[in-house]
A and B are shown apart, each in its own frame.
Chain A
Amino acid sequence: MSVLPAILRRLGALAVGVVLTAAVHAQGNLEIDTPAISALKQSMQKRHAQLAPLYAAGAVGLAADGTVALRDAAGVPLAQRAQVTSMIAAENADRAALYREIARANNHPEWEGDVRRTFAQRWVDRAQPGWWVQQGGKWVQK
């Protein structure tokens, strides 16, 4: 019978560890201060100066899947269309990398989809008045 107290003691220590881990997870913040994430933020911030007028004009909108999309090609002069298309592609590449890096920085690569969905919702919620966002498969102006 001398085994049982030892097991109970170990179990107690384990329970404390589990509870602490749960507390950290419940109250903690996600790790977003890594060099990769900072670089992506800077790249996106720089590009935003060019994208903001396109959001305001309705040419580019915030899609439901956490990307940006060409909403109204007619709103972009023909001469600039290729440039806008490549800008959208670059922005979406950065966004995909951002979602992946956040999941990886928190040691859960499988969270990428959840991170993407969270961002998609927040981009749409926080879009400025006049910008176009995708909701329920349709483009809606905020």
Chain B
Amino acid sequence: MPVASRWFLAAALALSASACVTINIYFPAAAAERAADRIIDEVWQLREGADGAPAQGSSQGEAK
């Protein structure tokens, strides 16, 4: 059944292609949030005891 199998192949290809596109354009919001938090930790030096005390701690009047 060459015609039927050709149709099947075409359908399978179309389906898998659309699946790939759908997955790849999806924005990973949770992962992006984690990445943002990691970068904000570093830029604002919010992680305690990473390598010594934050340099600018006194200027912000943080309660300890």
B-binding residues in A (CB < 8 A): 1, 3-4, 7, 11, 14-15, 18, 21-22, 25-26, 28-30, 32, 37, 41, 44-45, 48-49, 52-53, 56, 98, 102, 108, 110-111, 114-115, 118-119, 121-123, 126, 128
CB-defined contacts of B40 to chain A, threshold 8 Å: 119, 122-123, 126
Are the C-beta atoms of B59 and A11 separated by less than 8 Å? no
Are the C-beta atoms of B12 and A11 separated by less than 8 Å? yes
CB-defined contacts of A126 to chain B, threshold 8 Å: 37, 40, 44, 46
Q: Name the contact of A30 in the complex, choosing from B8, B16, B35, B55 (C-beta under 8 A).
A: B35
| Majority-rule SS of B interface residues | helix
Closest to B37 in A: A122
Are the C-beta atoms of B56 and A52 separated by less than 8 Å? yes
Chain B, interface size category, equals: 35 or more
> Could you list some 11 contacts between A and B, CB below 8 A?
A7-B9, A11-B16, A26-B28, A28-B31, A49-B55, A49-B59, A52-B56, A53-B60, A118-B29, A118-B32, A118-B36
Q: Compute how far the CA of A97 lies from the CA of B37 in the bound complex, rounded to whole angstroms.
A: 17
Shortest distance in angstroms between A35's beta carbon and chain B's nearest beta carbon?
15
Are the C-beta atoms of A122 and B36 separated by less than 8 Å? yes
The 3 closest A-B pairs by CB, nearest first: A30-B35, A122-B36, A118-B32
Q: Compute how far the CA of A25 lies from the CA of B61 in the bound complex, rounded to whole angstroms.
A: 41
Are the C-beta atoms of B59 and A56 separated by less than 8 Å? yes
CB-defined contacts of A7 to chain B, threshold 8 Å: 5, 8-9, 12
